[in-house]
Structure 1
């Protein structure tokens, strides 16, 4: 889909997503809220080694669907993404989101597949689902920033990257994006 002819409806949806998720909720992810909350606190501490370990532990926690068949679909979707077979990834991950709509990681991976297929509207829709289910999903917020940048919305992208850094201050790509975009939107109100 061409960014030039991009629907204003999609831009409004992305803007609303950012406004709805400006305050990440610490520890509101799954049955292991205490573990997730502790890991999110570790992320905020700023120690690079502890942050990397906490981020990896959160990624592992978020990848647990609680179902062997859903985990199989997730693994197949991820394997397809890793081999750049984005259509197959969409197929596997669509089956996953159909059968486990409350499992945020399925939506997150499918958003990545849509991004690679140059479908920013579909990616934004899936990212909105991820963030509705898990407002602390820093990778989804980063993906939202990337997509908004693609759509030439630097102020909204900057806001998304700053939200990433509120949750995960050591997220290097978000730090770089904030440094790159801040001069571009300097003096403009967010």
Structure 2
């Protein structure tokens, strides 16, 4: 990954211009998905098609195999975390989100996912902390702002 390019794009996420933020977000996701070249991207695409078809076991197998082959591929972990979240397996999703953040500390998608998992588990303080970490990277994220308010309401 080109760290200079990522740093610049991360700064663009804090820009007051929504178009600049949207373009930066798309570019960051593209970099993350393409981190391991065409092979990794094809495997992620294949797993998504399986998931869309309701073949969750097969999708999990594809992603687990990719993770075993390329354990430093953060987006493979993130996609499996999403799969686990969509299946309601929040603990497994959290564990994979944590791996993503260990590999890529600025992965706002995984931080958002952690917040969703904690909220689903009724751990609202932890959810707020995860959403706040995501907001530190993407301060204009309305969804994370809204989720922080919802979790705060549930605590009070």
Same-fold call, TM > 0.5? yes
- Given that 1:105 and 1:130 are in contact with CA atoms closer than 8 Å, whether structure 2 keeps it comes out as yes
Residues in 2 aligned to 1:46 and 1:88: alpha-carbon distance in whole angstroms: 42
**Alpha-carbon displacement from aligned partner over 1:59-109 (angstroms, at most 9, x marks no partner):** 001001334322221211122233343222211111110111001000000
- Offset at residue 121 of structure 1 (A): 1.6
Matched residues, number:
156
1:171 to 1:85, Cα distance in 2 relative to 1, 3 A: farther
Residues in 2 aligned to 1:159 and 1:77: alpha-carbon distance in whole angstroms: 30
Larger relative contact order, structure 1 or 2 (CA cutoff 8 Å, min sep 6): 1
Alignment correspondent of 2:39: 69
**Matching of residue 37 in structure 1 with residue 32 in structure 2:** no
Instruction: Structure 1: give runs of 5+ residues left out of the alignment.
Output: 1-29
Residues in 1 aligned to 2:152 and 2:16: alpha-carbon distance in whole angstroms: 21
**Alpha-carbon displacement from aligned partner over 1:146-177 (angstroms, at most 9, x marks no partner):** 00011110011011111111101122211110
- Given that 1:86 and 1:116 are in contact with CA atoms closer than 8 Å, whether structure 2 keeps it comes out as no
Alignment correspondent of 1:116: 86
Name whichever structure is richer in helix by fraction: 2
- Given that 1:111 and 1:127 are in contact with CA atoms closer than 8 Å, whether structure 2 keeps it comes out as yes
Residues in 1 aligned to 2:30 and 2:41: alpha-carbon distance in whole angstroms: 12
- Given that 1:162 and 1:178 are in contact with CA atoms closer than 8 Å, whether structure 2 keeps it comes out as yes
Alignment correspondent of 1:136: 106
Provide the secondary structure at the position in 2 that maps to 1:165.
helix
Residues in 1 aligned to 2:57 and 2:16: alpha-carbon distance in whole angstroms: 38
Residues in 1 aligned to 2:97 and 2:45: alpha-carbon distance in whole angstroms: 19
- Offset at residue 184 of structure 1 (A): 3.5
Residues in 1 aligned to 2:155 and 2:14: alpha-carbon distance in whole angstroms: 26
Residues in 2 aligned to 1:171 and 1:81: alpha-carbon distance in whole angstroms: 26
Instruction: Structure 2: give runs of 5+ residues left out of the alignment.
Output: none
Alignment correspondent of 1:82: 52
Provide the secondary structure at the position in 1 that maps to 2:36.
coil
Instruction: Give the 5 Å matches for 1:164-183.
Output: 164-183=134-153
**Alpha-carbon displacement from aligned partner over 1:35-61 (angstroms, at most 9, x marks no partner):** 100000000223222111111110001
